[in-house]
Structure 1
Amino acid sequence: MTQENLADPLFLANPHPTYARWRTEGPVRRVALPRGIDAWVVTGYEEARQALTDPRLAKAPRGPQSYSVNTAISKHMLAADPPDHTRLRKLVAATFTTRRIEGLRPRIEEITNGLLDEMSSHDHVDLIDAFAFPLPIQVICELLGIPVDDRDKFRSWSGDIVAGSEVTGAERMKAALGALVAYIRALLDERRDRLGDDLLSGLIAVRDSEDRLTETELISMVFLLLIAGHETTVNLIGNGTYLLLSDRDRWERVRADRSLLPNAIEEFLRYEGPVEMSTARVATESFSFGGQRISAGDVVMVSLLGADRDAERFEDPDELRFDRRHNAHLAFGHGIHYCLGAPLARLEAMVAFDKLLNRFPKLRLAVPATDLTWRPGVLIRGLSSLPVQL
């Protein structure tokens, strides 16, 4: 089988045709990751669900192909296997509750209104800079109890980290990781002296009998919440707005019938989801999977974007359909690693789209859709910018 290269600029600009071709050839195939590491990529829907729950595919870094960049940020639940994952998720879930998230609705609405007020003083804006980014980063900062004034630092650090060293360069990525870890460490030291009602204080104080998060686990968990807590929603709002504006009929339909909005958001997640690839898994033993022989130590990646357009699971997968029912997409993952923040992302998206549609009914793209560019890397699927005319 010919090995594919995921660093190809054409693939990064639009991976969907490649994923479609791969699925016709088989649900699992060998590729060369941009990092220069060979890996298996899963693009079939059923195989993706299996891979996301298969205990033979471990998340914890092992062996010479370890993806751990820095021990200080590799001890969160997304990078752990049971029983460590079970313990970490239980501790975090005790503070990241549905009640706490739903209680954020008034504040999310207030932040959204403020951002839209600020946008209204302009004729043109970059919707990513003006709206899609500041909304979720302000929400996660307030949830954690972190100064919102530092949000531009997080954006710079996060961008360098999720793009990967093959895009930003090893030294720049290392510097971003080091700066963010140092920031979190100082924040934890400061917060211990004045615990409050914020999530960060909750993570410091949470206990399960005699168990609690270690210092390294705390740093790792705050790192995960900061990165995942805004990256997913930034790209959900950005990608969704792009999909609405690239076909005027879609925008007008949802604006006229707001009951379509919940289904529309789920379809945005399926059709152009904010996370392209799952984080890496490593085979702990050799076994056959998806028609291929996976060897112990092999790296396996799951293409959430590819699986969510599998015609074996979704009717008319390349059509954006707001009447789609039972939309069991994998945009937030599956199994024990299903995104803990999915309810928050959905809540922010509902508020954001509803108020955007109300405030700017004539919103339009300010440039041809073909001029838009996508962020580099294979982890995140999001636009670099989204110029709009208000």
Structure 2
Amino acid sequence: MFDDEFFRDPYPLYDRLREQCPVQRMDGGRFPFWLITGYAEAREALADPRLSKDTSAFEHVLAPDGRTRDIAPAIARSLLATDPPDHTRLRRPVTRAFTPQLTDRLTPRIEQIAADLVADLADRREADLVADFAVPLPLTVICELLGVPPEDRPALRTWSQDLFLHGDHRHRDAASHHIAAYMTDLVTTRRTTRGDDLLSALLNDQDEAPTMSPEELVSLATLFVVAGHETTANLIANTALMLLTRPALMSDPHTTLEALPQIIEEALRFDAPLGIATIRFTREPVTYADTEIPADQAIMISLAAANRDPRSFTSPHTFTPTPRPQPHLSFGHGPHYCPGARLAKLETHIALTTLLTTFPTLTLTQPPSTLPWRQSRQMRSPQTLPTLLSAAPPPQPL
């Protein structure tokens, strides 16, 4: 696992592993882990209270040689690495921040950001739909929500990307400290200078009824900026790639726009923007698919593999933008289900609607098989999407 061929197309390997057994022990990397590739087993594990996400309690599993990582606490002990009751307590303000009503109120601003990005492309013949569109849209949305100045956003993007690079962990560890230090300074600034942003609202809530420590607030802010744009950027890029490589989906712009919600859902299943869920640990022995996993073991759940399990999905390797009986697992399942799922789909829908309305004809400028993919164990998307843009003709006078 985790070589160039895997990053380009992990599904042949996932299929082979699942056919052997949907739960297998893998020995690669710094520590052994159990990989789940089956849909039923993944769904069960995602909601299993016998599994822990508290990485601080299982450092001996992650570092069997005693050499622990130097990850900033704001990253290592985030909401994603906690169990109830701490997880329940820390998740509450996140859930309040992303209610359907509050999310939908962002629609006009997201539409404006998308329109501005498309306007910047209007005079160009070619563009990289990842760097020029898929990334800046959700990054701008979450940075505006948190009150991050425009001049600081490129650095945050670079550090965030570096957090997920496969390879030398020292590079990832350094990025974790950079982004944590920045968010610490931002929280400190907001304590004395409040604004009309999500971070100020969280601080106002903490002033009235404290539920988080200062360190936990920094960690939550850090999670917002990272999780708030990474997977959405991947989703926009992955869905755009589905359209670019399937001319039949683009033959009638009006039909494409009408089908866009289901196209996005199928893109989520077909190429999950988060290929492998955040790590879990066994508190006690557990059994999935007649395979017993002992206590004190690391578990990785492949959402991407589960979404293409032929036991749960008919023709799983065929992109079919029609409703399927089983829901995909790309936003997780159970108590850790992504609270930003609605916002991610809203941003993707607005982004692609705006793009396709302005440029109804989009063409990749290189074969799909030659596209570079993110070198990341978790994040799944092309690194670039070099695209030829063809604007819609101006309306004819009556």
Which TM-score tier does this pair reach, normalised by the shorter chain?
over 0.9
Q: Quote the Cα distance in structure 2 between the aligned partners of 1:172 and 1:195.
A: 33
Give runs of aligned pairs for residues 107-118 of structure 1, distance below 5 A: 107-118=109-120
Q: Quote the Cα distance in structure 2 between the aligned partners of 1:121 and 1:16.
A: 38
User: Do 1:96 and 1:199's aligned partners in 2 also have CA atoms closer than 8 Å?
Assistant: no
Match of 1:40 among 34, 44, 60: 34
**1:65: which partner in 2?**
61
> Once the two structures are superposed, what CA deviation does each residue of 1:302-357 show, in whole Å capped at 9, x if it has no partner?
00000000111111111111123445100001111000111110100110111111
Q: Quote the Cα distance in structure 2 between the aligned partners of 1:175 and 1:380.
A: 19
The alpha-carbon deviation at position 253 of structure 1 amounts to 4.8
**1:13: which partner in 2?**
8
> Once the two structures are superposed, what CA deviation does each residue of 1:45-104 show, in whole Å capped at 9, x if it has no partner?
111011001111100012312487232323332211111111111133233332221111
User: Do 1:136 and 1:230's aligned partners in 2 also have CA atoms closer than 8 Å?
Assistant: yes
Size of the alignment, in residue pairs?
381
**2:66: which partner in 1?**
none
> Once the two structures are superposed, what CA deviation does each residue of 1:249-287 show, in whole Å capped at 9, x if it has no partner?
122256534221111100000001100000100111123
Q: Quote the Cα distance in structure 1 between the aligned partners of 2:254 and 2:232.
A: 21
2:378 aligned partner, one-letter code: L
SS at match of 1:46: helix
Q: Quote the Cα distance in structure 1 between the aligned partners of 2:272 and 2:134.
A: 15
**1:302: which partner in 2?**
301
Give runs of aligned pairs for residues 213-252 of structure 1, distance below 5 A: 213-252=212-251
User: Do 2:272 and 2:380's aligned partners in 1 also have CA atoms closer than 8 Å?
Assistant: yes
**2:19: which partner in 1?**
24
1:197 aligned partner, one-letter code: D
Q: Quote the Cα distance in structure 1 between the aligned partners of 2:350 and 2:231.
A: 15
2:184 aligned partner, one-letter code: R
RMSD (CA atoms): 1.7
Give runs of aligned pairs for residues 281-360 of structure 1, distance below 5 A: 281-360=280-359
1:130 aligned partner, one-letter code: D
TM-score where L is the length of structure 1:
0.93
**2:194: which partner in 1?**
195
After TM superposition, the structure 1 stretch with the greater mean CA deviation from structure 2, 23-32 or 237-246, is 23-32
**2:393: which partner in 1?**
none
Q: Quote the Cα distance in structure 2 between the aligned partners of 1:27 and 1:183.
A: 41
Going from structure 1 to structure 2, the CA distance change for 1:257 and 1:288 (only over 3 Å counts) comes to closer
Q: Quote the Cα distance in structure 1 between the aligned partners of 2:238 and 2:208.
A: 43
SS at match of 1:192: helix
Q: Quote the Cα distance in structure 2 between the aligned partners of 1:265 and 1:95.
A: 23
**1:374: which partner in 2?**
373
Match of 1:121 among 120, 123, 127: 123
Q: Does 1:50 align with 2:44?
A: yes
> Once the two structures are superposed, what CA deviation does each residue of 1:208-266 show, in whole Å capped at 9, x if it has no partner?
98442211111111111111110111110111111111121122256534221111100
User: Do 1:267 and 1:322's aligned partners in 2 also have CA atoms closer than 8 Å?
Assistant: yes
**2:276: which partner in 1?**
277
Gaps of 5+ in 2: 64-68, 390-398
1:11 aligned partner, one-letter code: F
User: Do 2:31 and 2:62's aligned partners in 1 also have CA atoms closer than 8 Å?
Assistant: no
**2:95: which partner in 1?**
93
User: Do 1:204 and 1:213's aligned partners in 2 also have CA atoms closer than 8 Å?
Assistant: no
The alpha-carbon deviation at position 194 of structure 1 amounts to 1.9
> Once the two structures are superposed, what CA deviation does each residue of 1:124-156 show, in whole Å capped at 9, x if it has no partner?
111111100100000000111111222211121
Q: Quote the Cα distance in structure 2 between the aligned partners of 1:210 and 1:110.
A: 35
